[in-house]
Chain A
Amino acid sequence: MSGVRSSNRCIIELPRGLRRAAALLLIAGMPVAAEADAPLNYLTGAGTKNYPVVALIWGLISISLLVVVIVTVLLLIGLFRHRSEPTPRDPKLVPPRRPEQGLQWIYVGSAVSAVALFGAALWTFAVLADVVTPDRRAPFTVEVTGHQWWWGVRYQDKVVSRSFETANEIHIPTGQPVRVTLWSEDVIHSFWVPALSGKTDTIPGQHNETWLEADKPGVYRGQCTEYCGQQHAHMGFTVVAQSPADFQAWWEAQLQPSPPPHSQPVAQGQNEFIAHCGICHTVRGTPAGGSIGPDLSHLMSRGALAADTMPNTPGYLSGWISDPQAMKPGNLMPTLTLSAQELTDIRSFLATLQ
């Protein structure tokens, strides 16, 4: 049911053999979906920030699997090397060995573990230093605000009239770092775009920051990962990475107010929208200016509805407006009592918000 799929596959920079071996062990013959079919996977990365992290993850998994295999093999050999018949009452079975014997296991084992752990710690620090801030100044900032259960997105420009708001879909230009500031309107959420960046929480009363950078154009899925109540499961979003020129064009398009109604049903729909929905939702260029729900200006330019819960098609849109609690039980959008005609009109109006 996902509206938007990740279209991007990226190869991380680890020796291929190592990666293959790890993947083989990991999958262990299980019918695992291919990585590309799992849009939230973090085994592949798609941006400068994430490559060193993905390599680190593969490295840690490889070390971990190696340790598990070594210990299991040693255990199995140990178990069957001098296996006794199960008659423990026989005193002959108690070996008269000195208890000190075997201590070299602890010495050698600890020494080897210490080296491996120290190496892992150094690698961790190196990657941490590498990814914590971008190496260039980010040209602009996106403000992202977590709400129960959707994402507010605000693009800031020095010129106030060039700033605007949208929701649940973040557009970024490729090839440059984008600064993201994180806020919360209610409870704690967590901002996560696995292909581009790890998680950063949005915490009320606190201002957090992260950054994104995508190499290539693509659509990357994001998801809230801090439990935030009934519809935590349906609090997704998408990051659309575009070439700088496309991104600029998108920004310009977003600045446009909604077009004046071109027909009677649309005008009727706009009035209905203002009356029923305008308390919570904004559509720029109309009197609808609520800020409780997502900004719906240019709704039709988005790929999905209700925080990536369903694709943005006329059918789903009608279903969502007429009974929001069916698709996303517990969400904060009230069920409106709309006649069939009102619903059709509102939908015709929304369809003009390109």
Chain B
Amino acid sequence: MAVAEFERIPEVAGPSPNLEEKLHSMWVSEPGLKGWLTTVDHKEIGIMYLVTAFAFLTAGGIEALLMRLQLIGPDRHLLTPEQYNQLFSMHGNTMIFWYALPVLSGFSNYLWPLLLGARDMAFPRVNAFSYWVFLFSGLFIYSSFLVGASPNDGWFNYPPYASREYNGGINIDFYLLGQLFFGISTTAGAVNFVVTTLRTRCPGMSINRFPIVIWGTLTANAANLFSVPVLSVACLLLWFDRQFGTHFFNAQEGGQPLLWQHLFWMFGHPWVYTIVLPAMGIVSDGIPIFCRRPLVGYTAVALSTVVTMFIGFGVWVHHMFATGLPVLGLAFFGASSILISLPSGVQVFSWLATIWTGRPVFKTPFLFFAGFVVLFVIGGVSGFATGSVPADWQFTDTYWVVAHIHYVLIGINLFPVVGAVYLWFPKMTGRMLNERLGRWNFWTMFIGFNLGFFPMHITGLLGMPRRVYTYQDGMGWDWLNLITTVGSFVLAIGILLLFVNVLVSRKRGAIAGPNPWDAPTLEWSTPSPPPPYNFAVIPSVASRHPLWDERLQEADGKTLLDRGAVLDHGHETFGVTPMDGVPDVILKMPEDTYVPVATAFAIAVFFAGLLVHLWVLAGAGLSLMLLALLWWMWPSGDAGQTEDPAHV
């Protein structure tokens, strides 16, 4: 029987109330606290990711506003140098690590199975686990504020300033252990996204039919599998240096401070692409909806996404042009840094062509996506300029780079993300966000952002170094900094409008219906919000635009949405062949469980023990973790791991 469970020929039928009721009772998470702690539903986890990431965005934003108040004029004393340094470090760490990737993981989590026509992620418990580790690692690094010892060496934490000799407090340990902790979440999430894409899809979902956001997220997460371990190793080595007196980065004993920079940026530059490629994918999928035509150059965009990531692994030295490396090497990395603009250019021309040859409908999500195109180009060209080695010797470590990184992170991550909130909020809640407030939201953010951050380019050209807690008057930076501070507050008001819109529309928004935007992809074939099992019967797709098939007449066969396999012997979904999406197995999926949150908590105890040198506590955490893993791995009938199936 156990074998037959995976190899049986599933019944094919249309959805019926009976079936829906049966699936619902099987898949639904319990309400309340228990449901929240135990759920493995990708949609719930996706929303938890989004809410948590926005909470971190808010914290990082408040830190930024405090810094902007300090810099509003010359020689201000609102913050002490040490306070400023901790704030800029936490601001960078929060935005780059605890906001930018998790927010994209939130969308990907929510959307992935819906886009691919599956019932859940390949590893639902790993999915919950990566969320809890993300949350706990964020709380871990934020607990540093409670003891007044937050990380104070920026988001790239260069030794020797990060070594114990120059930074004796616990500040840097929060950073190092926090990164190691967070890396577990990223890695677990990456494995899950990669396997889900390759394995759990609906029939007919071959790789040339993936929405671009799938390409972006798949590429980013595959890259994370290679890049995150580099940072983890670097953090572990530096932690050894600090705790046990090893000398990996200690020049006095023959170590190499520059080794950290190589390791960090071998991780760091790919990371920058992992936090923008999925967002670019969101735009590539969003623009066609509102331009009422398929994306121009799908194949070129998908390939350029992958190519960008590959080249992205070969540009890290452009963060180190001033470190005295051999000139031939600099020339090579300068060339690769300039070259990487080409695949990005392909995407810009694709968006332009889609808009130009489409019939744009100006809804709020589209405003964000269209605005993004401009911000993308500004962030792109300012980066291209820093790829030019001799010019970078001037640009680097000035506000030019600060402007660049904010155009990349706010322009290419935050704007698409807010657009995506407007786009998918109706799917998540069943209600539309207010369109009028949405327009105010967009224009406030767009004007505030450009007002605040465009002048930073000029501040940089006029020589203001980054990471200074104050500046003297007479440097020519006073007005520019005042404008930047005003602009960043306007941007903050814009983000506040988003929160207001979400809170108000959640209860009072117009009812959305399954497909308010008449969009082409599978998630819009489900009710809004989708039922816990996503699809009553597994659809099969015949084109890239399953819901536009009939009107575009591009399908190769027929997309079937209301007739398909009935997988109702417990939590089930199809496993398919990686390239063509041909089902070859029925996968048994786990049910809601406390295991992921318990495992994540045990790891938190372990890291807390390491932080305060309570080795007993660390040992207890480790033991708890092993016990939790044992619980996790215990064979269960639900997952088809023992011979007695739980549901028939």
A342 at the interface (CB under 8 A from B): no
- A residues adjacent to B (C-beta < 8 A): 1-2, 5, 26-28, 30-35, 37-43, 52-53, 56-57, 60-61, 63-65, 67-68, 71-72, 74-75, 77-79, 81-89, 91, 93-97, 99, 101-103, 105-106, 108-110, 113-114, 117, 120-121, 123-125, 127-128, 131-132, 148, 182, 186-188, 190, 192, 194, 197-201, 203-206, 208-209, 223-233, 309, 329-330
The contact of A131 among B388, B390, B395, B469, by CB within 8 Å, is B390
Q: Given the complex, which residues of A lie within 8 Å of B569, measured CB to CB?
A: none
What 3 A-B pairs have minimum CB-CB distances, sorted nearest first?
A198-B393, A40-B463, A205-B251
Whether A203 pairs with B345 at a CB distance below 8 angstroms is no
Instruction: Given contact pairs A26-B458, A74-B356, A79-B362, enumerate 16 new A-B contacts (beta carbons under 8 Å).
Output: A38-B463, A61-B461, A64-B385, A75-B355, A78-B355, A94-B292, A97-B293, A105-B350, A109-B345, A120-B384, A182-B324, A223-B465, A226-B397, A227-B161, A230-B82, A233-B471
- Beyond A93-B292, A101-B357, A124-B388, whether A110 also contacts B342 by CB under 8 A is yes
Q: Give the Cβ gap from A336 to chain B, nearest Cβ, in Å.
A: 21
- B residues adjacent to A (C-beta < 8 A): 74-75, 80-82, 85, 153-154, 158, 160-161, 166, 251-252, 254-258, 289-290, 292-298, 300, 322-324, 327, 330-331, 334-335, 338-339, 341-342, 345-346, 348-350, 352-363, 370, 373-374, 377-378, 381-382, 384-385, 387-398, 454-455, 457-458, 461-480, 483, 517-518, 548, 551-554
Whether A57 pairs with B394 at a CB distance below 8 angstroms is yes
Q: Give the Cβ gap from B214 to chain A, nearest Cβ, in Å.
A: 18
Whether B474 pairs with A2 at a CB distance below 8 angstroms is yes
Q: Given the complex, which residues of B lie within 8 Å of A227, measured CB to CB?
A: 153-154, 158, 161, 397, 466-467
Whether A56 pairs with B388 at a CB distance below 8 angstroms is yes
Q: Given the complex, which residues of A lie within 8 Å of B477, measured CB to CB?
A: 33, 38
Measured CA separation A229–B472 after assembly (Å): 18
Q: Nearest CB to that of A127 among chain B residues?
A: B390
- Beyond A110-B342, A113-B341, whether A89 also contacts B374 by CB under 8 A is no
Give 27 CB contacts A-B under 8 Å.
A30-B483, A32-B458, A32-B462, A35-B462, A42-B463, A57-B385, A61-B461, A68-B374, A72-B377, A78-B355, A79-B370, A84-B361, A93-B361, A97-B293, A103-B353, A105-B353, A106-B349, A106-B350, A117-B384, A187-B161, A187-B166, A194-B394, A205-B254, A206-B251, A232-B468, A233-B81, A329-B80
Whether A52 pairs with B296 at a CB distance below 8 angstroms is no
Whether B470 pairs with A30 at a CB distance below 8 angstroms is no
Q: Give the Cβ gap from A263 to chain B, nearest Cβ, in Å.
A: 35
Q: Nearest CB to that of B467 among chain A residues?
A: A227
Mostly, the B contact residues are helix
Q: Give the Cβ gap from A102 to chain B, nearest Cβ, in Å.
A: 4
Q: Nearest CB to that of B383 among chain A residues?
A: A64
Measured CA separation A125–B390 after assembly (Å): 9
Measured CA separation A56–B388 after assembly (Å): 9
- Beyond A67-B377, A198-B390, whether A190 also contacts B296 by CB under 8 A is no
Whether A203 pairs with B352 at a CB distance below 8 angstroms is no
Measured CA separation A57–B398 after assembly (Å): 14
- Beyond A78-B352, A125-B331, A204-B251, whether A86 also contacts B338 by CB under 8 A is no
Q: Give the Cβ gap from A94 to chain B, nearest Cβ, in Å.
A: 5
Whether B327 pairs with A128 at a CB distance below 8 angstroms is yes
Whether A188 pairs with B388 at a CB distance below 8 angstroms is no
Q: Give the Cβ gap from B149 to chain A, nearest Cβ, in Å.
A: 14
Measured CA separation A203–B548 after assembly (Å): 59
Whether B296 pairs with A103 at a CB distance below 8 angstroms is yes
- Beyond A78-B352, A124-B338, A128-B327, whether A86 also contacts B361 by CB under 8 A is yes
Q: Given the complex, which residues of B lie within 8 Å of A233, measured CB to CB?
A: 81, 465, 468-471
Whether B390 pairs with A190 at a CB distance below 8 angstroms is no
Q: Nearest CB to that of A227 among chain B residues?
A: B467
Q: Given the complex, which residues of B lie within 8 Å of A125, measured CB to CB?
A: 331, 334-335
Q: Give the Cβ gap from B23 to chain A, nearest Cβ, in Å.
A: 29
Measured CA separation A156–B311 after assembly (Å): 45
Measured CA separation A54–B230 after assembly (Å): 37
- Beyond A78-B356, A230-B81, whether A68 also contacts B154 by CB under 8 A is no
Q: Nearest CB to that of B471 among chain A residues?
A: A233
Q: Given the complex, which residues of A lie within 8 Å of B396, measured CB to CB?
A: 198-199, 225
- Beyond A32-B458, A93-B359, A101-B296, whether A71 also contacts B390 by CB under 8 A is no
The contact of A33 among B154, B298, B389, B479, by CB within 8 Å, is B479
Measured CA separation A109–B304 after assembly (Å): 14
Q: Give the Cβ gap from A33 to chain B, nearest Cβ, in Å.
A: 4
Q: Given the complex, which residues of A lie within 8 Å of B298, measured CB to CB?
A: 99
Q: Given the complex, which residues of A lie within 8 Å of B295, measured CB to CB?
A: 99
Q: Nearest CB to that of B367 among chain A residues?
A: A79
Measured CA separation A206–B291 after assembly (Å): 56
- Beyond A128-B330, A194-B394, whether A99 also contacts B355 by CB under 8 A is no
Whether A205 pairs with B161 at a CB distance below 8 angstroms is no
Measured CA separation A75–B322 after assembly (Å): 37
Measured CA separation A124–B469 after assembly (Å): 33
Whether B338 pairs with A97 at a CB distance below 8 angstroms is no
Q: Given the complex, which residues of A lie within 8 Å of B551, measured CB to CB?
A: 91, 94, 96
Whether B475 pairs with A128 at a CB distance below 8 angstroms is no
Q: Given the complex, which residues of A lie within 8 Å of B75, measured CB to CB?
A: 1
Q: Given the complex, which residues of B lie within 8 Å of A56, measured CB to CB?
A: 388, 390-391
Whether A188 pairs with B474 at a CB distance below 8 angstroms is no
Q: Given the complex, which residues of A lie within 8 Å of B356, measured CB to CB?
A: 74, 77-78, 81, 102, 105
Whether B349 pairs with A67 at a CB distance below 8 angstroms is no
Measured CA separation A59–B395 after assembly (Å): 14
The contact of A88 among B327, B361, B554, by CB within 8 Å, is B361
Measured CA separation A68–B153 after assembly (Å): 34
Measured CA separation A95–B392 after assembly (Å): 46
Q: Nearest CB to that of B545 among chain A residues?
A: A99
Q: Nearest CB to that of A310 among chain B residues?
A: B472
Whether B391 pairs with A121 at a CB distance below 8 angstroms is no
Scoring B158, B300, B352, B477 by chain A CB atoms within 10 A of each residue's CB, the highest score goes to B352
Q: Given the complex, which residues of B lie within 8 Å of A103, measured CB to CB?
A: 296-297, 300, 353
Whether A71 pairs with B362 at a CB distance below 8 angstroms is no
Q: Nearest CB to that of B320 among chain A residues?
A: A201
Q: Given the complex, which residues of B lie within 8 Å of A64, measured CB to CB?
A: 381-382, 384-385
Q: Give the Cβ gap from A344 to chain B, nearest Cβ, in Å.
A: 27
Whether B463 pairs with A194 at a CB distance below 8 angstroms is yes
The contact of B300 among A37, A106, A128, by CB within 8 Å, is A106
Q: Given the complex, which residues of B lie within 8 Å of A124, measured CB to CB?
A: 331, 334-335, 338, 387-391
